[in-house]
Amino acid sequence: MKRIILILSVAILAITVLAFAAEDKKTELRPAQKIMQVRAAGLTAMNKNLGAGKLEAIAKDADDLAAETMKTGNKLSNPLAKEITLAISMYAKEASAAAAKSDAATVKAKLGEIKGKCGECHVKIRDKK
């Protein structure tokens, strides 16, 4: 009797796990969503490093952001998206240069401008439907 209850319990557990696993399918992110997540993570890291005074790390992250947005921006066909993306690249270059000069105030301002451009894109492009 105990053996039957144990077998039934294991079978029910296995069926339950399989049922939840089948329902827990995540949709694949679009390429633009993946890029935006990387950019958001980079901005978060730069803000955190700004608070910690790690300007060298900010310079590297800002250079990475500038390169990525320049590459992506030059491929865009939407003129507004291209303008915003290339503006982010310019601000990131300026943030990197300011970080290299240990100018935390300018870095903070440039990160704010980048965040503003991100918000502008969300309002004018992403959320406009």
- The per-residue pLDDT for range 40-52, each reduced to its tens digit, is 999 999 999 999 9
55, 102 in Cβ contact below 8 A? yes
Of 4-18, 60-74, 75-89, which gets the smallest average pLDDT? 4-18
pLDDT exceeds cutoff 80 at 114 = yes
pTM (predicted TM-score): 0.77
In this prediction, residues 5-30 reach a mean pLDDT of 77
pLDDT score at 13: 82
**Residue 97 has which token pair?**
């240069």
Residue of 116, 109, 103, 113 lying closest to 53 (CA atoms): 103
Q: How confident is the model over 100-126, as a mean pLDDT?
A: 94
Domain extents in the chain: 31-126
> Number of C-alpha atoms within 13 angstroms, CB side, residue 24?
6
pLDDT at 88: 97
Which pLDDT value is given to residue 6? Answer: 78
Tally of CA atoms within 13 A in the half-sphere of 16 that contains its CB = 6
pLDDT for residue 22 is more than 70:
no
